[in-house]
Amino acid sequence: METFHWRPQNSSTISVSPKVKVIKFGDGYEQRIRDGINNDLRSYNVTFVGLSEDIGLIDDFLSRHNAVKAFLWREPNTHKTIKVVCRSWTSTPNGAAKTISATFEEVVA
């Protein structure tokens, strides 16, 4: 498994949406339970800015994994290495510089 070694900008954000099953009863009462063992996987919105050649390497890496193959990535806040997939990213050229914005989704397998 390959490792993604580029560091994102500090403006990256983390999204957490735990999966739960909800049963609604009358009078506004509801019961909630975890949906699965790994129900709190995170999603990271990351941005990389640099020279076109350097950002091109990131684009090549993401294209090679093609939203199918997971890769290892060091989470910036905890510095814990996790498995992620990147299902979508956008590339914005700006002269000699380039920006890639991507969403890394934590996966178990």
**Domains of the chain, CATH where assigned:** 3-106 (2.40.30.200)
Q: What is the model's pLDDT at position 106? A: 93
Q: 32 near 22, Cβ under 8 Å?
A: yes
The residue-averaged pLDDT of 11-18 equals 83
Q: What is the model's pLDDT at position 10? A: 82
Q: How far apart are CA 8 and CA 16, in angstroms?
A: 19
Q: How far apart are CA 98 and CA 53, in angstroms?
A: 9
Q: Is the pLDDT of residue 11 over 80?
A: no
Mean pLDDT across the chain? 91
User: What confidence tens digit (pLDDT) does each residue in 29-71 have?
Assistant: 999 998 888 888 899 999 999 998 899 999 999 999 999 999 9
pTM of the complete model beyond 0.85: no
Q: What is the model's pLDDT at position 78? A: 84
Cβ neighbour number for residue 65 with a 10 Å cutoff: 16
